Copies of this chain bind each other. A is one copy, B any other.
Amino acid sequence: MSSGDPLAPVRARFPVLAPGHVWLAGAGPGDPGLLTLDALAGLSQAEVVVHDALVDKRVLALASPQARLEFAGKRGGRPSATQADISQRLIELARADRKVLRLKGGDPFVFGRGGEEVLALAAAGVPFRVIPGVTAGLAALAAASIPATLRGVNRAIILAAGHGEDEEFDWAPLARAGQPIVLYMVMRNLERISVAGKLTHNSFMATKRRAAAIGIAEKFPNERRCPVSRKNSRRYRR
């Protein structure tokens, strides 16, 4: 290894993924450049990578060539593994002394149901580690050069799930908080939520980019958006 290798000190301090352990890691919003070093450490050591549908192929390509990739995804509207099945599979793999990486899009604890998996692992006595990732909603804002917070404009930012079991969820109190709302998994419900929360229609910016859709609540209309030119940053798009 040449002394000029910027990654040598990183590799030297990679944490060790032990047999029988599960790392629950966020893969970030898609771009492998937004993967964390610890998630990469997991990918390079895992014998089994249990991933969901939102994990980008370019990220999975960083797994060890010896690793087995297992799809355990969920996708709106399609039949897929139940959450209990997935948790059970993680426990099985750990009990079979595999080195297990559970990889989820974004951050595993932000609308990723990582909490349920961690509860199941804890109940089963399986040692685990949670590795947070860059959450998709905030990354999508950054990709659009829109600051999540800006002095004099907003004091808070609300991350909310646009899809959930509770379709009767009352959006009005969140909207009345007067702070921008970033909606995840919202494309099917955008119109309904917009009406229920009395969010003004043209104050919404919806995008199908990855799993993230962004809603800007009524106190944050277009003219108060950070007027950053995208021209200067566009050259970096991939």
Contact = CB atoms under 8 A, between A and B. Distances in A.
A30 interface: no
Given A132-B139, A142-B130, A149 B37 contact: no
A118 interface: yes
Interface residues of A, number: 87
A64 B129 contact: no
Interface in A171-222: 173-174, 176-179, 181
Given A115-B147, A141-B109, A179-B174, A33 B131 contact: yes
Interface stretch (A49-57, A74-82, A95-103, A120-128): A120-128
A139 B146 CA distance: 22
Contacts of A109: 138, 141-142, 146-149
Contact of A130 (B36, B145, B158, B165): B145
A232 B117 CA distance: 13
A107 B6 contact: no
B152 A165 contact: yes
A43 B158 contact: no
Contacts of A36: 28, 33-37, 134
Contact of A127 (B7, B118, B132, B233): B233
Across the A-B interface, give the 7 residue pairs with the lowest CB-CB distance, nearest first: A115-B147, A6-B44, A33-B38, A156-B160, A132-B142, A115-B150, A109-B147
Interface in A1-41: 5-7, 9-11, 13, 15, 28, 31-38, 40-41
A133 interface: yes
Contacts of A44: 6-7
Contacts of A143: 130
Nearest to A107: B138
